[in-house]
């Protein structure tokens, strides 16, 4: 796969995912964006019984997000109760989120986010597709109201009758910038049907959403300040949330120039995480992004998990680079 392209695919699921777009605008930066959907091979259907007014709400993120993160029922309850996920159907004014144009209704299902990454599922209805056809839609505009970072990436895929949107602000070097608690503005248009023979029928339409982003990231930040001689840089800090991890590096002027000249950043990447119970989370094939800031001599590598983790249980992180160098960062 070419690094400049996005490839979205289910593991073991027959649904076809359509890559819509990935756009970045950068000043004095080298950005590499590698995005791949990793969905569970088996998606369970959860049957919900009637909830009485005195019973606790059963949180369900929908088929797309729950399978994207392989999220258990307990994890969905926990992150939603903690404020890291919003399920729109639980709102008293849920109907206001549904927008219909040209007979097609788009309705947000749920949103899961942390400081750097937003994952949104939107259900479409009003049209029946043949087994050999898939939907597509244009992303006209994406921005975060109140977000001060100068770059933002996004991509789209599908799962059954849900459109899956991933918005990424990781490559903002300013560690004080966060996506949480803000508002996501999303403009979509021209819903179309893509047939098996690649022919496409446009149905038109326009949909604009302003959606709240969860206020809690549950992220844990650990200062490292560890010199990495094999990588010619210093690991400054690591941030781990239940859905992603990010390492920040400090680099020298000569290393910066070499990296910039190569135009393919050898920023050390997160290869795996080891948990307290000995479980190893392999991160090499997960969604990732790296960025070099040419103004401040630092760099970032981030990865989004395909499982929900507890940041407090991460014992160590293994990093590697494209030259085969390897190091273990001990967090406890």
The domain boundary residue, chosen from 149, 178, 212: 212
Q: Determine the pLDDT at residue 60.
A: 94
* Rg (alpha carbons) of the chain, rounded to whole number: 20
201 and 288 part of one domain: no
Task: Please count the other Cβ atoms lying within 10 Å of the Cβ belonging to residue 216.
Answer: 16
What is the pLDDT at residue 264? 53
- Please count the structural domains in the chain: 2
How many CB atoms are located within 10 Å of the residue 194 CB? 17
Reduced to 3 states, what is the DSSP secondary structure of residue 76? helix
Neighbours of 101 (CB within 10 A): 17
Which pLDDT score is estimated for 20?
36
Residue 154 belongs to some domain of the structure: yes
- Is residue 278 domain-resident? yes
Give the Å distances, CA to CA, from 277 to 77, 139, 214, 313, 314: 23, 42, 30, 8, 9
206 and 238 part of one domain: no
Residues whose CB falls within 8 Å of the CB of residue 4, separated by 6 or more in sequence, listed in order: none
In a domain, 149, yes or no: yes
pTM for the predicted model, two decimal places: 0.81
Domain housing 128: 29-212
Task: State whether residue 318 is helix, strand or coil.
Answer: strand
User: What contacts 147, CB < 8 A, 6 or more positions away?
Assistant: 169, 177, 179, 182
Q: Are residues 224 and 194 in the same domain?
A: no
156 and 62 within one domain? yes
d(CA 62, CA 90): 12
Q: pLDDT tens digits, the chain, 332 residues: what are they?
A: 322 222 233 333 333 333 333 333 333 333 334 443 333 322 322 333 333 333 467 899 999 999 999 999 999 999 999 999 999 989 888 888 999 999 999 999 999 999 999 999 999 999 988 888 899 999 999 999 988 776 788 889 888 899 999 998 875 666 778 999 999 999 999 999 998 888 899 999 999 999 999 999 999 999 999 999 888 899 999 999 999 999 999 988 777 777 666 655 568 999 999 999 999 999 999 988 877 777 778 888 999 999 999 999 999 999 998 888 999 999 98
Instruction: Note whether 229 and 138 are same-domain residues.
Output: no
Identify whether 8 is part of a domain: no
In terms of Cβ atoms closer than 10 Å to its own Cβ (0-12, 13-18, 19+), residue 197 is exposed
Q: Are residues 77 and 176 in the same domain?
A: yes
Q: Are 185 and 58 in contact (CB under 8 A)?
A: no
Separation between Cα atoms, residue 92 and residue 104, nearest integer Å? 23
The answer to whether residue 9 sits within a structural domain is no
Q: Which of 242, 238, 226 is nearest to 301 (CA)?
A: 238
Q: Is 289 inside any structural domain?
A: yes
**DSSP 3-state assignment of 234?**
strand
Instruction: Indicate the residue among 212, 242, 276 that finishes a domain.
Output: 212
Q: How far is CA 28 from CA 12, 52, 154, 235, in A?
A: 40, 56, 20, 22
Can you give the pLDDT at residue 230?
A: 87
Phi, psi of 311 (to 5 degrees): -55, -30
**Strand 200-202 to 287-293 pairing:** unpaired
Predicted pLDDT at 164: 94
Q: Are 136 and 238 in a shared domain?
A: no
Measured CA to CA, the distance from residue 89 to residue 92 in angstroms comes to 8
Q: Are residue 95 and residue 37 in the same domain, yes or no?
A: yes
> 172 and 226 share a domain?
no
CA distances 44 to 40, 78, 267, Å, are 10, 19, 38
- In a domain? residue 23: no
User: 207 and 224 share a domain?
Assistant: no
Q: Is residue 126 part of a domain?
A: yes
Q: Which of 173, 191, 212 corresponds to the end of one domain?
A: 212
- The answer on 157 and 304 residing in a single domain is no
Q: How big is the chain, counted in residues?
A: 332
Does residue 239 sit in the same domain as residue 278?
Answer: yes
């Amino acid at each position: 796969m070419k690094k400049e392209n996005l490839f979205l695919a289910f593991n073991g699921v027959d649904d076809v995912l359509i890559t819509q777009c990935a756009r970045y605008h950068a000043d004095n930066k080298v950005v590499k964006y590698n995005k791949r959907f990793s969905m569970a091979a088996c998606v369970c259907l959860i049957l919900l019984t009637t909830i009485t007014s005195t019973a606790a709400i059963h949180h369900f993120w929908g088929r797309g997000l729950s399978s994207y993160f392989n999220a258990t029922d307990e994890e969905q309850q926990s992150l939603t109760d903690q404020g890291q996920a919003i399920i729109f159907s639980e709102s008293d004014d849920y109907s206001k989120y549904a927008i219909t144009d040209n007979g097609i209704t788009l309705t947000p299902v749920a949103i899961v986010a942390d400081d750097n990454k937003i994952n949104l599922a939107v259900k479409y209805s009003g049209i029946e597709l043949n087994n050999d056809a898939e939907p597509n839609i244009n992303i006209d505009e994406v921005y975060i109201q109140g977000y001060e970072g100068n770059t933002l990436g996004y991509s789209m895929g599908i799962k059954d009758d849900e459109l899956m949107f991933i918005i990424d602000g990781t490559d903002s070097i300013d560690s004080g910038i966060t996506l949480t608690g803000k508002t996501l503005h999303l403009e979509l248009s021209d819903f179309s049907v893509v047939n098996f023979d690649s022919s496409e029928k446009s149905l038109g339409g326009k949909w604009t959403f302003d959606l709240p982003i969860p206020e809690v990231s549950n992220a844990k930040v650990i200062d490292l300040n560890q010199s990495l001689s094999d990588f010619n840089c210093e690991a400054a800090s690591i941030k781990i949330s239940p859905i992603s991890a990010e390492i920040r590096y400090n680099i020298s002027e000569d290393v910066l120039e070499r990296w910039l000249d190569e135009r393919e950043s050898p920023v050390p990447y997160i290869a795996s995480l080891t948990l307290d119970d000995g479980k190893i989370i392999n991160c090499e094939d997960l969604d990732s992004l790296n960025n070099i800031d040419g103004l401040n001599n630092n760099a970032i590598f981030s990865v989004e998990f395909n499982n929900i983790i507890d940041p407090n249980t991460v014992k160590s992180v293994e990093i590697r680079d494209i030259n085969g160098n390897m190091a273990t960062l001990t967090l406890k």
